[in-house]
Structure 1
Amino acid sequence: MTTPSTIPAVRFRAVARHFGEVRAVDSVDLDIAEGEFFAMLGPSGSGKTTCLRLIAGFEQPSAGTIEIFGEHAEGVPPYRRNVNTVFQDYALFPHMSVAENVAYALMVRGVGKAERLAKANEMLALVKLANFGARKPAQLSGGQRQRVALARALINHPKVLLLDEPLGALDLKLREQMQVELKTLQRSLGITFVFVTHDQGEALSMADRVAVFNAGRIVQVGRPEEVYERPATRFVADFVGGSNVIEPEAATRLRLPAGAWSIRPEKITLSATGNGPLGRVESLQYQGAQRRYVVAVGPDRLSVVTAAGTTAFTPGASVHVDWPADAPTRLEG
C-alpha cells in the first residue's frame, strides 16, 4: 500500500448542480483523502448521488470547481478521468462470459485477448471468483454478480472507485457479508473508495469518514463515531441511527440545560429506584438481543434501548430514566 499524498483524491469547492429551479447540489465543499473509504449518506434526493455523478463526469457542475488528484475535472469526459463506477444494478453484459465482462474495458483499449483474459482472471481471483470466468451472469447469485462488477471496475486500476448503492439489491445477510469484503478489499488495494448509500448501518460500519447530506448540502462530516455520538443537527440526530431529539421547551422538564439536545436511546438506563426523572413505560418491543421501550415522562416521550439481559419492565411500570453526563449532545439547528 502506497503512502497517501497530501493532495486530496477529490476536492469540491462551492460546487453546485442545478436542474432548472431544483438545486440538487448546493454549494458543497469537500475534501476526500487518498486511500480513504468515504461514505456519502443521505435520504433520496439529498444530493449524494449527484455528487458521485459529478466526480464520475456523468454530470457537470453548474458552479464551483472539482479536482481529482489536483487536476481540474470540469469539462473532462468520464473516459478521461482516472475513476470508475460500480452501479447498484451491476450493468453486466448478459451475452458475455464473466471473464469477458471483466475484460471488456481492456478490449475497448485494444489489449490483446490473451493478455486481457489473464488480467481478468487476476481480478476474479482478487474478488474470490477464480473459477467462475466461463459462466454467464445469469448463472451467478446477486453477491457473485456484484463481485464481477467490482472486478470489472478495478481492472483498469482506477485511482478512485465510485460505488453507487452497490449493495442495495442484496438480502440482509449477504449485504452484511459484502460490507466486510468491500472494506477488506479497499484496505488491501489502498484505492480511494467513495460509497453512496441511504443505509446508515452501511456507512457507519464501512467508512473511514461519513458526509451526511440533506437538501443538496453537507450538514456534517466526520468519523462514524463522531457523526453518531455527536450529531451536529436535528436532521443528523434523527437520520443517523435514530435519536431522542429534545426540544428546548422539554429540556427543563428532563433536567437538561436550556437548548435543543440529542440523546441516543441506548445511552438511557431504566431503573425502579434511580435519580433521574420519573416516567411510565408505554410500550415494550422484544428484539432478541435488546428491548426497545417508549417511556412517557410527563408530556415527553423517550425511546430507550436496553440489552436483553437487563431488568425488564412491563408497560405501565413506573421507572426512572437516567443517562451519563456526556450522553446529551447540544444540537445546532
Structure 2
Amino acid sequence: MSVHTRPQAAIAADPGVSESTSAVRFSGVTRHFGSVRAVDGVDLDIRAGEFFAMLGPSGSGKTTCLRLVAGFEQPDAGEIGIFSEPVAGIPPYRRAVNTVFQDYALFPHMNILDNVAYGLRIRGMNRTERETLAREALGLVKLVGFETRRPSQLSGGQRQRVALARALVNRPKVLLLDEPLGALDLKLREEMQVELKALQRALGLTFIFVTHDQGEALSMSDRVAVFNAGRIVQVGTPEEIYERPRNRFVAQFVGGSNVLEPSVAARLGGPERLVSLRPEAIAVHAAGSKLEAGRICVDAICIEVQYQGAVRRVIADCGELRLAATVPATEVRGLEPGAPIRLSWLPMALHVMEDDR
C-alpha cells in the first residue's frame, strides 16, 4: 500500500504558515469531571506542520486534551489557541480542525463518495464541487475506484482510510487522530503507521495523534508528550523520550527500562542518583567471564528467558534487584532458568533522572 508523495493543492497546508508558528497552544488548561482532574494545568505548544503524539496510559488525560482542541469539551480553567486564535466558546464545526476516531463513525447507508463529501454537503457546497474534492481526497488515500461501495464492503484498513479522507476533505489546519489504528491487526497497523506519516509529510498539515502504544508514538511522531494523571511529564523528540527519560514513570512506561534506586546505582558503580538502564544496554555473559576494562558488571542468576523472535529477554536476579536484559536471540541460545550468569554495561548507559518520589 502507498500514498501519493505530492499533496493536492486543495487539501495541502497553507503555504504561508511557517513551521515556527504555533498550531495549538495550551496555557494552564484544566478540566474536571466531578472530583477527577482529567487535565491538570497543562501547558503545551504544538508547532505548525509537525506530527505530534500524545502518549500515555488510559485515564492519563491525553484524549480529553484532544477533545478540548476539537471543542467536544470546554476547559474549566486556562486557554486553548489554534493558530493564535482563542477558541473558548467556539463550537466544533467552526474550528479549523477535524477528528478521525478509532471507530471511524461512517454512515452505513451512504456510499464511500457520499461519506467523504458529507461535511461539504452540510456546509452547502454544490454537488459537483464537493464530489470533485471528495474524489481528490480518496485519491490521496489510494481509494480511487471505491466510490460506490458501502462501508460494510470494505476492510478495516479501508474504512480507516475513508475516515481519514472525510476529515481531510474539509481542509483542516489541524487533523486530530484519536487512536485511529487501535482496531487494526498488527500487520495492517504497521502499514498504516508508515502511510499516515508519509501523508502528513506530503500534505504539511499538523497532525495530533493520541495513542497508548509507545511503538506508534516513537515511530511516527516528530515530538511526543507523555501524559500521566492529567499532567504532561515530558515533551521531546522520540529519541529524547526514549534515551533520556525525565523520571521513573517515563522510563518504565516507554520501553520498560530498569530503574535503579540511588543507593543501588552507587553500589553498581554509577552515581548515587535515580538512574535508568535500558534492557538493550545490558550484555549477558557466562558466569565468571572476564570483561574488557571500563564495563560495570554484576553476577546474577537467570530467572526467566523470553523468546521474542530476533531477541530474547533475560530476567536476572542480582540479589538486591532484578534486571531485564534484551539481547540477540543467538547470543543466549540454551540459557536456562537457574543458570549463573554475569551482566555488564557501560557507565554511559546509566541515565540520571529526577527522583519523583
Provide the TM-score with structure 2 as the length reference.
0.91
Structure 1: 4+ residue segments shifted above 4 A? none
1:284 equivalenced with 2:284 (yes/no): no
Q: Measure how far apart 1:317 and its partner are.
A: 2.6
Q: Measure how far apart 1:249 and its partner are.
A: 3.4
The separation in 1 between residues aligned to 2:224 and 2:198, in whole angstroms, is 18
The answer to whether the 8 A contact 2:40-2:230 is kept is: yes
Correspondent of 1:323 among 327, 331, 345: 345
Q: Match of 1:215?
A: 229
Correspondent of 1:310 among 319, 331, 340: 331
How do residues 10-89 of structure 1 correspond to structure 2 at under 5 angstroms?
10-89=24-103
The separation in 2 between residues aligned to 1:104 and 1:21, in whole angstroms, is 39
The separation in 1 between residues aligned to 2:320 and 2:170, in whole angstroms, is 60
- Greater mean alpha carbon deviation, residues 190-199 or residues 285-294: 285-294
How do residues 145-156 of structure 1 correspond to structure 2 at under 5 angstroms?
145-156=159-170
Q: Measure how far apart 1:5 and its partner are.
A: 4.5
Deviation sequence 1:79-118 (CA, Å, 0-9, x none): 1110000000000000000000000011111111122112
Q: Measure how far apart 1:253 and its partner are.
A: 3.4
The answer to whether the 8 A contact 2:51-2:206 is kept is: yes
The answer to whether the 8 A contact 2:19-2:49 is kept is: no
Q: Measure how far apart 1:10 and its partner are.
A: 0.3
The separation in 2 between residues aligned to 1:189 and 1:44, in whole angstroms, is 30
The separation in 1 between residues aligned to 2:304 and 2:33, in whole angstroms, is 45
Q: Secondary structure at the match of 2:139?
A: helix
Deviation sequence 1:195-230 (CA, Å, 0-9, x none): 000000000000000000000000000000110011
The separation in 2 between residues aligned to 1:228 and 1:278, in whole angstroms, is 27
Q: Secondary structure at the match of 1:9?
A: strand
1:295 equivalenced with 2:316 (yes/no): yes
The separation in 2 between residues aligned to 1:6 and 1:235, in whole angstroms, is 30
The separation in 1 between residues aligned to 2:303 and 2:80, in whole angstroms, is 51
Q: Measure how far apart 1:311 and its partner are.
A: 4.2
Q: Secondary structure at the match of 2:233?
A: strand
Tell me: CA distance 1:304–1:283, structure 2 relative to 1, closer, same or farther (3 Å): same
The separation in 2 between residues aligned to 1:31 and 1:319, in whole angstroms, is 47
The separation in 1 between residues aligned to 2:281 and 2:87, in whole angstroms, is 45
Deviation sequence 1:160-216 (CA, Å, 0-9, x none): 000000000101111001000000000000000000000000000000000000000
Deviation sequence 1:117-143 (CA, Å, 0-9, x none): 121111111100001010000000000
- Greater mean alpha carbon deviation, residues 89-98 or residues 258-267: 258-267
Deviation sequence 1:280-304 (CA, Å, 0-9, x none): 2111112210011011112310001
Q: Secondary structure at the match of 1:326?
A: helix
Q: Secondary structure at the match of 2:347?
A: coil
The separation in 2 between residues aligned to 1:304 and 1:236, in whole angstroms, is 18
Q: Match of 2:10?
A: none
The separation in 1 between residues aligned to 2:307 and 2:40, in whole angstroms, is 42
- Greater mean alpha carbon deviation, residues 274-283 or residues 81-90: 274-283
Q: CA RMSD in A?
A: 1.2
Aligned length: 333
Q: Secondary structure at the match of 2:259?
A: strand
Provide the TM-score with structure 1 as the length reference.
0.97
Q: Tell me the amino acid that sits aligned with residue 321 of structure 2.
A: D
The separation in 2 between residues aligned to 1:330 and 1:86, in whole angstroms, is 38
Q: Measure how far apart 1:65 and its partner are.
A: 0.9
Q: Tell me the amino acid that sits aligned with residue 258 of structure 1.
A: E
1:229 equivalenced with 2:243 (yes/no): yes
Q: Match of 1:173?
A: 187
Q: Tell me the amino acid that sits aligned with residue 322 of structure 1.
A: S
The separation in 2 between residues aligned to 1:328 and 1:146, in whole angstroms, is 41
